[in-house]
Amino acid sequence: MSRLADHLAARLADQAAPPVLAPGVFDGLSARMASMAGAEALYLSGASLAYTRFGSPDIGLVSMSELVDTVAAITEKTETPLIVDADTGFGNALNVQRTCRNLARAGAAAIQLEDQTLPKRCGHLSGKTLVSSAEMAGKISAARDALSGTNCLLVARTDAIAVEGLAAALDRAEAMVEAGADILFVEAPPDQAAMQQLTDRFAARIPLLANMVEGGRTPLLPLDQLGTLGYRLVIYPGAFVRAMTHLGTAFYADLLRDGSTASWQDRMLDLGGLNTLLGTDEILQAGARYDEDVFGK
């Protein structure tokens, strides 16, 4: 996946272009839909994976092996660069190295690590605690060493604004940049003034990531305005899950009430439409090249 990582790095470095918008995905189907819609990058959200696979909140319940399996399923179905939320790296610096190697082998174009303690929480929830800045810098350095020989990018995230304040978060971010981060993610700035202070300090040196969370602590701003502020990468990690759960709640209620999907026919893909989305005919045609009647002649 080095080609995809190189493409993402080049795109983030192009200051004349708009920021990269990476929709949140959580499986092969969501990744295929986002890619077909024209996404330049995808973001595998740990929160969305917890929501959809386990029906659980984002409180650190997903394991490393479950994350790696999901990355492999997604990268098999899309050629769009995948940014992977690896939470805390699942332990200390040695755990971080194992996590990064496994995710890179599974096809991640970029891997994100954060400075929370275990068990971590969603960046827009209260009650977070942090490892020391020095420990996090060590984990970033360990990840950098583990990814040596690959083109996989490293996203460093700090959750310090909610715990220690903006000034401390900026200092932590500085240490992460010095330790070898390729992309910087300072989570949950509460207003545009804080976002501007962050971009004023770092935007000229490293691509900055903005996290747009509906109902979260950071203002929801359009892509062009985020670009003007100085952000180069914008993620909507849980937006599709929120849309899907809104839709699903209504769908199941109507189905159980009506005993039929008749009222939803204009809001559904039928079997043929779904198979078109999945590329079923193309897959079957590819398989036909190896059928017994071809090789039995």
Q: What pLDDT was estimated at residue 8? A: 97
DSSP the chain: -HHHHHHHHHHHH-TTSPPEEEEEE-SHHHHHHHHHTT-S-EEE-HHHHHHHHHS--SSS---HHHHHHHHHHHHHH--S-EEEE-TT-SSSHHHHHHHHHHHHHHT-SEEEEE-BPSSP--TTSS---B--HHHHHHHHHHHHHHTTTS--EEEEEE-HHHHH-HHHHHHHHHHHHHHT-SEEEE----SHHHHHHHHHHHTTTS-BEEE--TTSSS----HHHHHHHT-SEEEETTHHHHHHHHHHHHHHHHHHHHSSSGGGGGGS--HHHHHHHHTHHHHHHHHHTT-HHHHT-
pLDDT in tens, the chain (297 residues): 468 999 999 999 999 999 999 999 999 999 999 999 999 999 999 999 999 999 998 888 899 999 999 999 999 999 999 999 999 999 999 999 999 999 999 999 999 999 998 767 665 666 678 999 999 999 999 999 999 999 999 999 999 999 999 999 999 999 999 999 999 999 999 999 999 999 999 999 999 999 999 999 999 999 999 999 999 999 999 999 999 999 999 999 999 999 999 999 999 999 999 999 999 999 999 998 888 776 766
Domain with CATH 3.20.20.60 in the chain: 2-244
For the domain bounded by 2-244, which CATH number is listed? 3.20.20.60
Q: What is the predicted pLDDT for the residue at 291?
A: 85
